[in-house]
Amino acid sequence: MNIRGNILEIFQTNQIKETFRKREFVVEYAENPNYPQILKFEMINDNCSLLDNFAKGDDVEIDFDLRGREWTNPQGNKVYFVSLNAFRLKKIDDSNSSSASDNEPVPGSDDVPPPPSDEEELPF
C-alpha cells in the first residue's frame, strides 16, 4: 500500500527484544483536506534507521504493509491489534515539479528514428 502525507512526529527507536526493535512516526494524511487523518506508522529492525533522514514537516510518500494479529490476554479475552508497518519512505519535493502539461512534446523527443549505422546499411 502507498500513501502521501506530512510527518508530524518521529519517535526514538525502542529495543523491544534483543533481536527486535521498533521506531514509530506520525503522519497527517489528507485524502480529503476537510477530514485529515492522523496515522501512526512503525518501522522495524534495520528499517528504523531510515527515519534518520527525515524531520517534522517533511512531505513523504510511504510504502507500507497493513498487519493484524490476535492475542489472548491473561483473563482469556481475545484482543486484536492492527499496525501500519512502513518499509520505504521517500521525500516529496513539489518545488522541482514540472509545470508542463503531460501532453506537451519534450524537446528532442521526435518520433523520427535515428539514421542507420554503417552496419545496418544495405549493400544496394
In a domain, 49, yes or no: yes
**pLDDT average, residue stretch 32-52:** 94
Give the pTM: 0.70
Q: Which of 33, 45, 36, 40 is nearest to 62 (CA)?
A: 40
In a domain, 115, yes or no: no
In a domain, 13, yes or no: yes
Amino acid identity of 70? E
Tell me how far apart the alpha carbons of residues 100 and 103 are, in angstroms, rounded to a whole number.
Answer: 8
In a domain, 42, yes or no: yes
Give pLDDT, residue 74. Answer: 95
Q: Provide the strand spans (E) within the chain.
A: 2-10, 14-17, 20-29, 37-44, 59-72, 78-91
Give pLDDT, residue 97. Answer: 46
Amino acid identity of 36? P
In a domain, 63, yes or no: yes
Q: What is the pLDDT of residues 5-35, one digit of tens each?
A: 999 999 999 999 999 999 999 999 999 889 9
Write the CATH number for 65.
2.40.50.140
In a domain, 112, yes or no: no
Give pLDDT, residue 99. Answer: 40
Q: What is the pLDDT of residues 95-113, one digit of tens each?
A: 554 444 444 444 444 444 4
| Bigger pLDDT: 42 vs 103 | 42
Q: Which of 122, 31, 50, 39 is nearest to 84 (CA)?
A: 39
Contact by Cβ (8 Å): 48, 24: no
Query: Based on the structure, what is the number of domains in the chain?
Result: 1
In a domain, 8, yes or no: yes
Q: What is the number of other CB atoms lying within 10 angstroms of the CB of residue 43?
A: 22
In a domain, 105, yes or no: no
Q: By residue range, what is the domain housing residue 6?
A: 2-93
Q: What is the pLDDT of residues 52-103, one digit of tens each?
A: 999 999 999 999 999 999 999 999 999 999 999 999 999 998 655 444 444 4
